[in-house]
Structure 1
Amino acid sequence: MGHYDIARKIEEMDPERDAVAICHLLAGYEFPWDITRALEIALLRTFCVPSIAQLLDHTGEFQHHTQKRYDDTGVIVSELFKWGYEHPRGQGFLQRMNAIHGRYPIGNSDYLYVLSTFIYEPVRWCDRFGWRPLSDLEKQAMYHFWVAVGQRMGITDIPDSYGAFEQYNQTYEQQHFAYAAANQRVAGATRAMLLGWFPMGLRSLANQAIPALLDAPLLNALGWQPAPASLTQLLENGLKVRSRFLRKLPPRSLPDFFADQSIRSYPQGYGLNDIGPPSLLADLNSIDQKEHS
């Protein structure tokens, strides 16, 4: 099997009709590591919007249950990429997410912005550091996939094209990115979680490296200092070397989804009823049982 066989297969698909199948191939076979990293940056970008960060700060989930909040997001996104939003399993996790979000006063414009980051951050990362850039067809498929998810979340006024939604994403950031103490608290808890993944001897270097690939508006809104220029250059060069190396490897024969890995919050595995803030799990599980009885 040639390294570009999956890419060629995707180019024969329809970006709207086959959006689930295309995103399954992108997230599971072509770019699993890259899309995970891109969505971590997407998460940080949402903290740059004070209305979003203040809600997250108020719930305390990112301060007290940081790893679980991160893992739950990863699980839901991974399950959607793996199964799609029309499969019963995908539907179950999407309904679970809606039940969680339904407990909080989230504005439609904030929902729209967060949804847009799930499209454009992976596109930007893969264009910058992927072993190949995403094709126009693949970008359209990402747009149609997340628009369909957004519609099932009840989000309204979703821009009607890839370019229009990208413009919304950029304009929203220009208008709403601003420093707030809540931004820094929520982002700081997430940064501490990420550092906890490294051996003690590497944490100081990792702490300097975390801001290295982040742009100035994001850093300013979080109150973070930029990484040393030499470290930024080293990381960028390392990622580019990685992309050249990956081009020489055979393609994956088995998918690699976040949900298939050993997850820190769920070392014994997880079920649908495990997903959600600890403070809401009893209520959510009670609702689920009533709906299925």
Structure 2
Amino acid sequence: MHSPGRFAHLHRIQQLDPEVDFDEILRLTARFEFPWDYVQGTGIAFMRDYGIPSIAALLDRTREFEDHGVKRYDDTILIGDEATLDGIDSTRSHAALRRLNRIHGHYDIPQDELAYVLATTIVGPVRWIEAYGWRSLDPHELVAITRVTTRFGELMGIKGLPTTYDGYLTLLVDYERQHFAHTPASTRLAEASIRIAREVAPPPLRPLLRRVTIAVMDEPLREALGLPRQPRWFVRSVRRGLRLRGRLLRLAPPRRTAYAHRPTTYPDGHRLEDLGPLAMLDALNTKESHA
């Protein structure tokens, strides 16, 4: 059983050409069909970065998660929004990615790490939707999401990126097999991220949020982050609850308005000039004005 019109967005997606209409397909998938799932999958994806010791060491050193966690969380989502809301090759997107490149330019980040982080941003949401979404992703959606991800990476200057979802999945799995390892920095970052999530979550969800977050992690990720194993019954209950939510959503009418992130940091709205580490803003904005 499903709600009348439940598959209206999917039917629209299936009529579009993912090689041409990738921006529109991504908008329908991420902002209408699976907005909550996309956010959760992306959140778990960011945690994977902490399982790579060299990435964890840099992120830990900046102290952005410890000292300005909610701003760091909001800025990451908002730069992604700026890059995709008007289309990946829009003026707005190019401005956002120039800014992201300037932020990254303050650090010596190897290409393979940038490619891995990019892979997490596509694999995380897709895996989450496969596990807990109210329907499976259509092949058109996978092609479109991949096209936008690869273009995002190209605009960051990353070379030799995959052109298929399976290519990104292989990149991620192989990289983690070679590099995943626990360090004290990975645990500090994971705990800081869980505190951020607790801060922005509705109050009734806060007490169990840490345990639920751990329960949805795969074992290699949980071990790399050095987080405590949860009881098997609890893990099963959490995952069963998420799958039940997905089944119930089939009965809901299709979403009529696009999901938009509401940043705690900027209750009255933001400008691109607001995004980035506080200590870097003056330098970033001076560069922007001379660009």
Same fold by TM-score greater than 0.5: yes
Give the equivalent residue in structure 2 for 1:74: 77
Partner of 1:269: 269
**Counterpart check, 1:34 vs 2:44:** no
Contiguous gaps of at least 5 residues in structure 2: none
Contact 1:83 1:90 in 2 (8 A): yes
Alignment of 1:139-288 (within 5 A): 139-197=142-200, 203-258=206-261, 261=262, 263-288=263-288
* Alpha-carbon contact 2:146-2:163 (below 8 Å) kept: no
Query: Is the 2:50–2:56 Cα contact (8 Å) retained in structure 1?
Result: yes
In the alignment, does 2:82 pair up with 1:45? no
Relative to structure 1, is the Cα distance of residues 200 and 254 closer, same or farther in structure 2, using a 3 angstrom cutoff? closer
Q: CA deviation at 1:253?
A: 1.4
CA distance in 2, matches of 1:198, 1:75: 17
User: What does residue 131 of structure 2 align with?
Assistant: 128
Amino acid paired to 1:175? Q
* Amino acid across the alignment from 2:247: R
Question: Aligned partner of 1:264: which letter?
Answer: T
Q: 1:138 corresponds to which residue?
A: 141
Task: Return the offset for 1:171.
Answer: 0.5
Q: Which residue identity is paired with 2:158?
A: I
Deviations 1:236-272 (A, max 9, x none): 12212211121111111111122xx2x1111121110
Matching of residue 119 in structure 1 with residue 122 in structure 2: yes
* Partner of residue 63, structure 1: 66
The normalised TM-score by structure 2 is 0.94
Larger mean CA deviation between 201-210 and 114-123 belongs to: 201-210
Shift of 1:206: 2.4
Counterpart amino acid of 2:224?
A: A
Q: Give me the TM-score of the superposition, normalised by structure 1.
A: 0.93
Give the C-alpha shift of residue 200 in structure 1.
7.0
Q: Following the alignment from structure 1 to structure 2, what is the Cα–Cα distance between the partners of residues 205 and 6?
A: 34
Task: Please tell me the residue identity of whatever aligns with 1:66.
Answer: G
Matched residues in 1 for 2:31 and 2:201: separation? 25
- Give the deviation of 1:144 after TM superposition: 0.9
Displaced runs of 4 or more, over 6 A: none
Percent of residue pairs identical: 38
